[in-house]
Amino acid sequence: MPDEVNPNGDEQFTPEPFWSGTISFGLVSIPVSLFPANRSSRVNLRAMGPNGTPLGRRYYSAKTDKELSPEELVRGYETEKDRYVLVTDEELERLAPKKSRDIDLRQFVEVKEIPPIYFERGYFLAPDGDSTKAYLLLATILEETHRAGIATFVMRGKEYLIAITAENGILRAETMRFKDEIRSPADIGLPERVKPPDERTRHFIQIVQKHAAAELSLNELRDEMSAALLELVKEKQKKNQDVVVLGGNDESRKEPAPDLMTILKQSLAGHSGQRPKHSGRKPKRARASDGRSSRRPYTLRTRSAKRANR
């Protein structure tokens, strides 16, 4: 559930759970709600056509160049090159896990026994209704024993494996990767472990000690690229530079649509002090969301079509 970040730096986040259920183990049931523990700081840029029309992705046949509707799509698993086994929606529904609102705790293990590579995404678990006492009791036990509860639960038709831990009296859930999703060092050709020379070891230890810190600085975890992009957007917005307004009142609609390519070329020419050079080749046209088409399909559609056939 990513959050939106606008150029003014205001984060749009609605503190509402996107899943509610019950932690179950033995004869104990604790109603809880699931909240995301992280939010995306990436700045999303919208792809647009030369006239300012937002572009949309479409599925099409690479063989006939015919656009396909969602009802015409068929899923298939590639067993070998150009050979697929088709799977119907009905078959997928039969294979889907049964709908449940239970977080089924299977076992409790020490947190240090779980390799960090298995952790995927973090969530907060909050108590629901009158479950606060049982919630705090479970959090206290997990925190004092340094253990995690390994559990499964179903969300949006998919079964997830999670580890439930506790910190400062708050239960956290980390979705986990399955065993067959983890690569071994041998899979990617990493060298075998050998003992390095003692002199080289001492040199590395000195470097580590020189840069050692008592605690992790959160400033080191800042997304510099996104921050710089937002600053650029703010600066352009303040100067009213390269700002395009789509839609508007009836009078503004009578005006011709802005040519974004011309605006960008003029902006680049202003920075370089030279007029933009033309290559003589016509730019490739993409299919816009208003239904206008082109001879060659847009690149994003090509990738989507390939994914749909896998």
Residue 9's pLDDT is: 41
Residue 46's pLDDT is: 83
- What 8-state DSSP symbol labels residue 290? T
In a domain, 308, yes or no: yes
Please count the structural domains in the chain: 1
Locus of tokens 């049931």: 29
In a domain, 127, yes or no: yes
Range of the domain at 79: 1-180+298-310
In a domain, 64, yes or no: yes
Mean pLDDT, contiguous 10-residue spans, the chain (310 residues)? 38 69 87 87 80 82 87 87 86 82 90 93 90 91 94 87 94 92 84 84 89 80 80 85 66 52 58 45 42 36 38
**Cα 218 from Cα 232, distance rounded (Å):** 23
Q: Which residues lie closer than 8 Å to 39 by C-beta, 6 or more apart?
A: 2, 3, 11, 13
In a domain, 245, yes or no: no
In a domain, 222, yes or no: no
**Cα 41 from Cα 47, distance rounded (Å):** 19
Can you give the CATH number for the domain in which 60 is found?
2.40.290.10
Q: How many residues does the chain have?
A: 310
In a domain, 156, yes or no: yes
In a domain, 293, yes or no: no
In a domain, 122, yes or no: yes
Query: Is residue 301 a contact partner of residue 60, using CB atoms and an 8 Å limit?
Result: yes
